[in-house]
Amino acid sequence: MNETRLQRDVFTHLLSMAESAGVSSEQLLSQSRLNGMSNSANTIVESIDAVVLLETAAELMGDPRIGLRLGQKVGINSYDTYGFASMSCANMRDSCKLLLRYGKVFFKPHWESQYCDGGLLLWPHLTMGTPKQQRIITELAFSAWSNVGMSLYRSPLEGIEIQFTFPQPANTALYDSIFRTKIIFGAQRSQIFLPDHILDLPVKTANKSDHVLFNQQCEGMLRSFNDDERTTTEVRRLLLQSAGNFLDISQIAGHLNMSERTLRRKLKTESVSFRALFEEVRDLLATEYLTKTDLTVAHIAHLLSYSETVNFRRAFVRWNGITPSEYRQRQADQVKA
């Protein structure tokens, strides 16, 4: 599995915290390997290696709450595409949907949910590790989630409830300073309860057009996650990332460290052409913009790199058999029905 920026940043912050506590990176990695981490691991990529590394760091640093502190070190920029998609969400409800759909691509562990009377329950899906190791991972996940929430809403999320399965520690000051809300210890499951009024809380940086783009980039990464990063998926991902100033085939070939000829050959073996993928991405974004934003047809044409709106209309009719305005009206009528 490829290393994500989030994993890389968590690893870097962990080493920095260890150094500050008088534990060298060589000492931490050496002891972690003695404790079961794979010999080749120099990053947090595989889940079991991350668990062993974090537990070893907690022991060497004498800091059982290392997960809580580490979660506060990782900013929303570390989440890359997912972070930008979160910042563009309309509200917490949309943020949670994003987390649940794309979590397995960006996070270890991924998150699960359950709607209940008055709100939503969220919890990390833990399948490995001792109770001590799971506690560290849970505290890291909850602390990081809280840190992202502060970035999105720029204020404490009053009314949420944090629940931990482990007993209440003698000193809860660190928990209180991080979560700033009701905390329950000794619960049946470690989870976060989000009441309905919090789910409807607007994100300060909400942006419909940006959300369409970043959401589709997340979708591309999910497809890549499931398809072992085929060439088609990689080209689609790069086109989505460059929307507004689309890369051409030679530029994409360069990003993939291959010649244009090799890229065309690889795409042909997957029964697709670059032009077809380019048209597919444009059509996908066009229908998303028309359905999920109030942008004018002319603005959408500009976002899709059309110099003339009329050229966009002709292309859209070719793709869908109707004009952009007709498509938008049809989608609106279906919602009303």
pLDDT, mean of each 10-residue run, the chain (337 residues): 73 94 94 80 58 93 96 90 91 92 75 91 85 92 92 82 96 95 96 94 91 86 64 87 90 94 91 89 92 93 94 93 92 79
Confidence (pLDDT) at 3: 60
My answer on whether 126 and 23 are in the same domain is no
DSSP code per residue over 191-244: EEEEEHHHHTPBPTT--HHHHHHHHHHHHHHHHHHHHT--HHHHHHHHHHHTTT
- C-alpha distance across the termini of the chain, in Å: 44
My answer on whether 325 and 253 are in the same domain is yes
3-state DSSP assignment of residue 89: coil
> What domain range is 299 assigned to?
208-336
115 backbone dihedrals φ, ψ, rounded to 5°: -80, 140
My answer on whether 133 and 24 are in the same domain is no
CA distance 65 to 70: 9
On whether the CB atoms of residues 138 and 67 are closer than 8 A, the answer is yes
My answer on whether 93 and 180 are in the same domain is yes
Angle between helices 208-227 and 231-241 (to 10 degrees): 170
Residues contacting 244, CB < 8 A, separation 6+: 213, 303, 305
In sequence order, what are the beta bridge partners of 115?
A: 120
Confidence (pLDDT) at 45: 44
My answer on whether 57 and 107 are in the same domain is no
My answer on whether 230 and 326 are in the same domain is yes
DSSP code per residue over 322-336: S-HHHHHHHHHHHHH
Confidence (pLDDT) at 17: 96
Q: Which of 241, 250, 233, 318 is nearest to 279 (CA)?
A: 318
- Cα torsion 78, 84, 88, 89 to 10°: value is -60
User: What is the number of domains present in the chain?
Assistant: 3
The separation between CA 51 and the C-alpha centre of its own chain, rounded to angstroms, equals: 20
Last residue of some domain: 41, 71, 101?
Answer: 71
Q: Which of 142, 150, 148 is nearest to 80 (CA)?
A: 148
Sheet containing strand 161-164, edge to edge, reads 111-116, 119-124, 191-195, 161-164, 182-185
Last residue of some domain: 156, 178, 199?
Answer: 199
My answer on whether 327 and 222 are in the same domain is yes
My answer on whether 227 and 308 are in the same domain is yes
3-state DSSP assignment of residue 51: helix
pTM score > 0.85 for this model? no
Q: Which of 51, 21, 192, 53 is nearest to 135 (CA)?
A: 51
My answer on whether 32 and 90 are in the same domain is no
Q: Which two tokens stand for residue 179?
A: 């979560």
Q: Which of 46, 41, 33, 32 is nearest to 2 (CA)?
A: 46
Last residue of some domain: 166, 199, 232?
Answer: 199
66 backbone dihedrals φ, ψ, rounded to 5°: -60, -35
Q: Domain containing 311 — which CATH number? A: 1.10.10.60
My answer on whether 298 and 232 are in the same domain is yes
Q: Which two tokens stand for residue 56?
A: 């070893």
The separation between CA 171 and the C-alpha centre of its own chain, rounded to angstroms, equals: 33
Q: What is the DSSP letter of 21?
A: T
My answer on whether 21 and 38 are in the same domain is yes
Confidence (pLDDT) at 81: 85
My answer on whether 147 and 174 are in the same domain is yes
The separation between CA 164 and the C-alpha centre of its own chain, rounded to angstroms, equals: 24
